[in-house]
Structure 1
């Protein structure tokens, strides 16, 4: 068995050292298949890619490793967590979030290998998850905390710069992720209306003529729960009409 590893540390040198150590591990073998320098980036990766284990630093900007470990329980394929940190004082808290092991820096290969052996044993005991299972919420790390936003409350998802705006009737959140991956994962829940936007099918109320400062005359959708309208690309107008039953 080759373990798929997510390395989470805000220090590039620390991530590089773990990559080298993992390359020296043989029983079991371990392959770094993802890296993140923050809890938000790690959550975005884990939402869309399966990992067997996450090697997580505790002290990071924004949400810390303990908050990340708790949030990782809610991703589609929760990885087991091994903390790798320079600080020994968080060991009790680490095991409260069900960490498999707690390694202090500088990490020795023998100690990392022992932790991976624990992961391998536990992974073999865990029941297999459905390949296409998807949670009914989005896990978002923001402003030093982790929130769980139910998909039933999401009205639209809009790509803006490197983030996705997740809009509910009550609030807006920023998610680090891919709009296309969310579209593929929840095709029954969200409809693509533009290259930069998905809308909740249940929230679509009307297709209206609209003038946009950037795109000119065109079509837009009105959604329940928000006052703004969202532009619809010409190629998606037919899909919106179909969703409205026209």
Structure 2
């Protein structure tokens, strides 16, 4: 048997690829390059998406081996997509395709099997796919989240909720409050509650401009606050926060009472 073998020879099954880029010409170029290297690496493009949300919706229906993803995309960018991929039952290998310069790319190296600078070259794509075949488990999800926040200047747009074997994405913009209960955190939207694998401390650090700490067990969205009232009886709550469009009241601790009232005025 020859010492050197191509990927296609070692694995007769083609690698299933999802291309994620908000620019149609960029997606078309990747398709052409994948065709050009078929002799060395057998692949099959099973789908395309123009943002991270669309990519995750596709992946819930059909798993793939490799995701080729741009960084800058509307609705959900490539870095946030990378964090959510880690929560899938069978996480695919992720290869970034980006127009960022070398300074930014140094950071991406920590978060994907490989990165490809646009315009993507066939030899680099082939090398990246070879790495994908032999990839090791990726970095911790929090490392991906921290890098994405640093680069986009804000936290995630969606939070993952694993429910009955499915990945649900909760839009942060729709969350009225987060409430801690034992090991879990519940996110409340106008429609329902979602149980998240998060901590209040991490959420508070990620969304300091959007959510206020009311109590050791509660964060509330600034936009959801309708007013406050003092508690009538001594107890865990010194006062109560009233919410827009929701019937429940949230406890406010004595320590946070004056703080949150001043923040809400601003």
* TM-score (norm. length: structure 2): 0.49
2:108 to 94, 98, 105: 94
1:50 and 2:63 aligned = yes
After the TM superposition, which segments of 4 or more aligned residues of structure 1 sit over 3 Å from their partners? none
Larger Rg, first or second structure (1 or 2): 2
Counterpart position of 1:6: 18
TM-aligned CA deviation for residue 147 of structure 1: 0.5
**Structure 1 gap segments, 5+ residues each:** 127-142, 158-164, 174-225, 228-246
Distance 1:108 1:14 in 2: 12
SS in 1 for 2:188: coil
SS in 2 for 1:34: strand
Indicate the larger mover: 54-63 or 7-16: 54-63
Counterpart position of 1:213: none
1:28-67 to structure 2, matched below 5 A, reads: 28-67=41-80
Counterpart position of 1:117: 130
SS in 2 for 1:35: strand
Distance 2:63 2:80 in 1: 19
Bigger strand fraction: 1
1:16 and 2:34 aligned = no
TM-aligned CA deviation for residue 144 of structure 1: 5.7
Aligned length: 146
Q: Tell me the C-alpha RMSD between the 2 structures.
A: 3.1
Q: Which digits, 9 at most, give the CA deviation of each residue in 1:141-163, with x for residues without a partner?
A: xx9613112427x9xx9xxxxxx
Distance 1:94 1:29 in 2: 26
TM-aligned CA deviation for residue 170 of structure 1: 1.9
1:134-149 to structure 2, matched below 5 A, reads: 145-149=157-161
SS in 1 for 2:48: strand
Is the 8 Å Cα contact of residues 27 and 117 (structure 1) preserved in structure 2? Answer: no
* TM-score (norm. length: structure 1): 0.53
Query: Whose RCO is larger (CA < 8 A, sep 6+)?
Result: 1
Change (3 A) 1:172 1:34: farther
Distance 1:108 1:172 in 2: 47
1:104 to 76, 95, 117: 117
**Structure 2 gap segments, 5+ residues each:** 1-10, 138-154, 169-173, 175-185, 192-245, 248-266
Distance 2:75 2:100 in 1: 17
TM-aligned CA deviation for residue 27 of structure 1: 2.1
Distance 1:40 1:172 in 2: 21
